[in-house]
Structure formats: structure tokens, C-alpha cells
Amino acid sequence: MTIRKITTIIEDIHQEGGRHVDPAARVAVVAAVIENPWRGQGFVEDLQPGIETTASEIGALLAPRVVEALGAPVEAYGKAAIVGLDGEVEHGSALIHTLKFGDHFRQATQATTLLPAVEKRGPAGVLFDIPLKHITDATIRSHHQTVEVRLSDAPHAGEIVIALAAAAQGRPQQRLADLSTEQ
């Protein structure tokens, strides 16, 4: 795996809806810009060799970094794969939709739910939203949120941005009733 750069973003929300948020609502994102392992190969029928050489390694690299960046217990999480214009969306999906990748994050956070994801193809600087859900119960509405990310110089045409996001809480000032009230 060839890494061009790793970017860490930390967001602390101190006010929402005109009211103070205490403690501040923190979200962290760690994104690695890597060379697409299928770059220049044309259509690749069997993606497994690239998955084997890349997915676990990138998951092991990013999971502890995002947990450390958050600096608090993780309550919500998500992932992203943004593929440069010379790649296929399937290339990003192949890397992040495998237990070899996601289990590193689940183990680091004692999570039990599937990681929500975004994957898309785009040019350098493409804007993307990483969806977040609660780490043990995806039906907890307060933790359904997104974090917006943009790396001004990534992905290049032959790269993939792989990112993990974590939140220390649900949405600031959330007021929706529990899902069970509608069932």
C-alpha cells in the first residue's frame, strides 16, 4: 500500500440552535490518501488480491488514529471510500466493505453494528458526507448524523481516499422521540 498523506479533522460544536452545548460535541475524521491498488490494470475481475494486500492494513492504520483523535469514548461511527476518476466505485467498496477493514474499528470501539458508509468517485476536492450511527444500536436516532469532509488535493485520478469518522455523542440538542414510540 502506498500512502500519499493522512489528514485528521476534529470538529467541536459549542453552540447549536442558539444554545450552549456542554460538553462540546466532538467529531473526528482520519483520512488516508492511498494509491488505488488496481490502478492502470483496466477492468479487474478478481479484486481479492488487492483486498488482501490493502484492506486490513489501512483499517489497522486508521482505527486507532481516529479513536485517539476523538479523545473520548466513541458512541457513533462511519466510513468512506472516495475513488479518483481513473478508478471504479467498486474499488473503494472492495476495501471498506470487508471485515478485514471494518473489524479494526469495531474492535477498537467495542462496536457491534455495521459501519455506515459512503462511497463515490470524484475529482480532487470532492465534497463527501460520512454517515454516522450508534456503535451498538443503529436504531438510536440521536446518533444518526453526518460529518462533511473535503480534501482539497485528493483524490488524484489514481488514488482512493479511505476515511473513518467517530463521534463522542449524538447530534447536539437532539430532541426526537425514541423509535419505539412509533412502533
Is 65 part of a structural domain of the chain?
yes
Asked if residue 159 is part of any domain, the answer here is yes
Across residues 65-69, what is the average pLDDT?
98
Percentage, residues of the chain above pLDDT 90: 93
What is the reported pLDDT for 75? 97
Within-domain flag for 125: yes
Domain annotation covers residue 180: no
Residue 154 belongs to domain with CATH number: 3.30.1330.110
Does the structure show a pLDDT above 80 at 145? Answer: yes
Q: CA–CA separation, 83 vs 119, rounded Å?
A: 8
Better-scored residue on pLDDT, 126 or 183: 126
The whole domain housing 26 covers 3-39+46-173
Q: Is residue 118 part of a domain?
A: yes
Supply 142's cell numbers.
Answer: 440521536
Say what the pLDDT of residue 30 is.
Answer: 98
| Structural domains counted in the chain | 1
| C-alpha–C-alpha distance, residues 178 and 124, integer Å | 39
| pLDDT at residue 181, as a whole number | 72
What pLDDT does 170 receive?
94
Helices (H), 23-47: none
Please tell me the predicted confidence (pLDDT) of residue 179: 73
Q: What percent of the chain shows pLDDT beyond 70?
A: 99
Q: What is the pLDDT of residues 97-134, one digit of tens each?
A: 999 999 999 999 999 999 999 999 999 999 999 999 99
The answer to whether position 178 is within a domain reads: no
In a domain, 183, yes or no: no
Beta carbons within 10 angstroms of residue 129's beta carbon: 14
175 confidence band (pLDDT: 50, 70, 90): confident
Smallest CA-to-CA distance from 161 within 113, 119, 108, 104 is with: 119
Count of CB atoms situated within 10 Å of the CB of 24: 14
